[in-house]
Chains A and B, each alone.
Chain A
Amino acid sequence: MQDEEFKNILRKKAESFEIPVRSNAFHAILAKRQNAQKPNNKNVIIFWIAATVTVLGILIYLSSKNLPETIAVKEVLKPASAIFDPVNIKPAESGLIKIKTATKRHEPKNYIAIPHTQNHSPMLLKKEPDQTAKTLNTPAAPLPVLNPNLKDDSVYSENVTAKQKDTMGLIAKKEINHDTIESVTLVSEDTSSAKETQPGFISGSKTVSAHYSGNLTGDAVDLKFSLALYGNYLPYHNISNAANNQEIKNLYPNEFDERAKLVYLTGFWGQLHYKKFTFSTGVAYSEIHFDKIYSAPVLDSVKSGVIHQESIEQNAIDQKFIFLEIPMLVAYKLSDKKINLSIQTGIALQWMLYTQTYIFIKTPNEITYMSQNEIANKRFNKFQYLFVGSIHINYTPYKHLTVFAGPTLRANQKPLYVNEYTVRPAPVSGGLETGIKINF
């Protein structure tokens, strides 16, 4: 017999040769697969624990760090017209408030003054050099000539130092030429109790998270590792009705809102899978805005120095509360299809880090804005917890990639301010969130 013929016969015979597989072989293979992943899992667990310890360390550090005792922050609410009483314009003691002005679109824009922070945060003030002269290159218009008769009650600010009890102080610098600056302080005394007016909230949430994968105890339970980026790209609607005053509602129609412009923080998430349930935790960054400016592009353009007269309707305040968040969620997957639905609920712990305030003042010819930072202090409920619920439509085009979107409800259980009258209700908002998850 020729070699070729010999090989052909052998191949045909070998093709039909089968050895029955043991009944437990399949489960043995699954178990071995899961065991094979364990060495990697250990590394990820260590990584995750390290990340958690780091975050907890930051929290402990922040909680132990008190503001200097000289700062007894007190809120005084002032109408804008009172703040900008030209009669009380005085030279500035320090120029650390940022004021920008701009004329109408298509006309040359003039900017005055710079950095943020008001005088009720001395630590920040010290860090801020007087950069006014360096920053302003364009010939500036005179400091906004505000109409003393302006009775616009829609703009309020809050701040004050211990030494300035019952005094509303706005410090600004006016620049006329490159180095010729005439500093001014806009000071107004006000003893009225205007606490019944307060703007609304907008909140935002962004998360980058990482999860870990592997089997812990058997076929049903495994711990997965994945990286997720998600946020909400459409405004959330206020549900909590923070402003109980119709006038305020008209001024600040968009009280609670959530939006995601950027992903700020990377969190390391552990995800424990049990059948169709997924338990997850991690670290997230979130924001709550108290605001009438509901259009993120407007705010962004203002921050970048491009202010269009028509983009801001009236005077406004945008107060942003920045949180570090630890969500603890459970999700139930309705099916294992490529496109599936999941229901997610749970709680999240929030730690308020600081607040950031932008104040916009619109006059017939100019828009002026100021910004300030404030470390979260006793005025605020720094520790928050909230209930979170969402329904996600998940699309998994590849094994390691999931895109999801769906409605979400976030309900804080404590108000942001301890004693603030108009901001007493806790923020509750609903909206749409979308995201992408990379599964390892």
Chain B
Amino acid sequence: MVIKYRKSGITEQELVHRCAQEDALAQKVLFEKYGPGLQGICFRYAKNLSDAEEIFQLGFIKIFDKLGNFRFESGLKTWMTRIMINTALNYLKTNEKIKWESDIESQFENTDLSTEQLHGMDLKFLMECIQKLPVGYRLVFNMYAIEGYSHKEIAEELNITEGTSRSQYARAKNVLEKKLLAIGFEKNNYAGRRI
């Protein structure tokens, strides 16, 4: 008997249970439902799309392997995101040389970017800018600014000091801001000219 799933016709709990039972069809449904978003996360952490795809596949293997242990104590998406981030961190630690700069206290509380500018920024362009950050900056920036980790958690996760984490974030933000302002301005102008 073949069970056909419609994306809207199955509860998350049932989907997880089926996946844990190695139901390939359910796994595909889960993959199609959450895959693009999770690959987007990998994209932010990896230095290029190829690495992002590699991290994404490794992460999904872990997700399928561990789904049987998922107890719905947190949201499924949150749980999967966490696995994907851990996979990305492990991948980068293994495959990239991360250069941590000294703990120079940096304070970049404010930014020259306006809210409107950031809101109007092309999403993919913004993510590409984050991806182009040096690996150390990229990791801390993603974890602190987007994932919401504290500097203490980042320090523990990456085996660095809290000060280094703060410093990495401040520098990353500064570099990103400059990029966004410079390239984004040019891009917008270029786009304006084309129109």
A-to-B contact residues, CB < 8 Å: 1-3, 5-7, 9-11, 13-22, 25-26, 28-30, 32-33, 36, 219, 334-336, 338, 396, 398-399
* Given contact pairs A13-B126, A25-B57, A6 touches B113 in the complex (Cβ within 8 A): yes
Other-chain contact of B109, A2, A17, A18 (Cβ < 8 Å)? A2
Whether A14 pairs with B146 at a CB distance below 8 angstroms is yes
Whether B64 pairs with A29 at a CB distance below 8 angstroms is yes
What are 6 A-to-B residue pairs whose CB atoms are below 8 Å?
A3-B173, A25-B53, A25-B56, A26-B27, A26-B32, A33-B61
| New contact pairs (5) apart from A11-B146, A19-B36, A29-B61, CB-CB < 8 Å | A6-B111, A9-B115, A13-B123, A29-B57, A399-B21
Whether B36 pairs with A36 at a CB distance below 8 angstroms is no
- Which of B39-47, B83-91, B151-159, B184-192 lines the interface with chain A? B39-47
Other-chain contact of A1, B40, B57, B60, B113 (Cβ < 8 Å)? B113
Q: Rank and list the top 6 A-B pairs by shortest CB-CB distance, nearest first.
A: A18-B36, A17-B40, A19-B39, A21-B35, A399-B68, A18-B40
Q: A5: nearest residue on chain B (CB-CB)?
A: B115
B24: chain A residues at CB < 8 Å are 30, 219
Q: A336: nearest residue on chain B (CB-CB)?
A: B23
* Given contact pairs A6-B113, A399-B68, A19 touches B43 in the complex (Cβ within 8 A): yes
Considering the chains assembled together, what is the distance between the CA atoms of A20 and B38 in angstroms? 10
Q: B17: nearest residue on chain A (CB-CB)?
A: A338
B-to-A contact residues, CB < 8 Å: 1, 3, 20-24, 27-28, 31-32, 35-37, 39-44, 49, 52-53, 56-58, 60-61, 64-65, 68, 108-111, 113-115, 118-119, 121, 123-124, 126-127, 144-146, 148, 173
Whether A396 pairs with B21 at a CB distance below 8 angstroms is yes
Q: B58: nearest residue on chain A (CB-CB)?
A: A32
B27: chain A residues at CB < 8 Å are 26, 30
A21: chain B residues at CB < 8 Å are 31-32, 35-36, 39, 56
Q: How far is the CB of B115 from chain A (nearest CB, A)?
A: 5
Considering the chains assembled together, what is the distance between the CA atoms of A43 and B89 in angstroms? 30
Whether A18 pairs with B145 at a CB distance below 8 angstroms is no
Q: B3: nearest residue on chain A (CB-CB)?
A: A336
B42: chain A residues at CB < 8 Å are 19
Q: B124: nearest residue on chain A (CB-CB)?
A: A17
Q: How far is the CB of B104 from chain A (nearest CB, A)?
A: 18
Considering the chains assembled together, what is the distance between the CA atoms of A11 and B144 in angstroms? 10
Q: How far is the CB of A205 from chain B (nearest CB, A)?
A: 30
Q: How far is the CB of B150 from chain A (nearest CB, A)?
A: 12
* Given contact pairs A1-B118, A13-B123, A33 touches B65 in the complex (Cβ within 8 A): yes
Q: A33: nearest residue on chain B (CB-CB)?
A: B61
Whether B109 pairs with A3 at a CB distance below 8 angstroms is yes
B40: chain A residues at CB < 8 Å are 14, 17-19
Whether A16 pairs with B39 at a CB distance below 8 angstroms is no
Whether A32 pairs with B145 at a CB distance below 8 angstroms is no
Whether B1 pairs with A14 at a CB distance below 8 angstroms is no
A1: chain B residues at CB < 8 Å are 110-111, 113-115, 118
Whether A32 pairs with B57 at a CB distance below 8 angstroms is yes
Whether A29 pairs with B60 at a CB distance below 8 angstroms is yes
A3: chain B residues at CB < 8 Å are 108-111, 173
Other-chain contact of A16, B60, B113, B114, B123 (Cβ < 8 Å)? B123
B126: chain A residues at CB < 8 Å are 10, 13
B109: chain A residues at CB < 8 Å are 2-3
B20: chain A residues at CB < 8 Å are 399
Considering the chains assembled together, what is the distance between the CA atoms of A2 and B118 in angstroms? 12
Q: B148: nearest residue on chain A (CB-CB)?
A: A11
A19: chain B residues at CB < 8 Å are 36, 39-40, 42-43, 49, 52
Other-chain contact of B61, A6, A32, A219 (Cβ < 8 Å)? A32
Q: How far is the CB of A19 from chain B (nearest CB, A)?
A: 4
Q: A7: nearest residue on chain B (CB-CB)?
A: B145
B53: chain A residues at CB < 8 Å are 22, 25
Considering the chains assembled together, what is the distance between the CA atoms of A5 and B114 in angstroms? 10
A33: chain B residues at CB < 8 Å are 61, 64-65
Considering the chains assembled together, what is the distance between the CA atoms of A133 and B47 in angstroms? 86
Q: How far is the CB of A291 from chain B (nearest CB, A)?
A: 43
Whether B36 pairs with A20 at a CB distance below 8 angstroms is yes
Other-chain contact of A25, B23, B35, B110, B118 (Cβ < 8 Å)? B35
Considering the chains assembled together, what is the distance between the CA atoms of A355 and B4 in angstroms? 55
Q: How far is the CB of B97 from chain A (nearest CB, A)?
A: 25
Considering the chains assembled together, what is the distance between the CA atoms of A56 and B102 in angstroms? 67
B121: chain A residues at CB < 8 Å are 13
B61: chain A residues at CB < 8 Å are 29, 32-33, 36
A13: chain B residues at CB < 8 Å are 121, 123, 126
Whether B118 pairs with A9 at a CB distance below 8 angstroms is yes
Considering the chains assembled together, what is the distance between the CA atoms of A26 and B60 in angstroms? 9
Whether A28 pairs with B110 at a CB distance below 8 angstroms is no
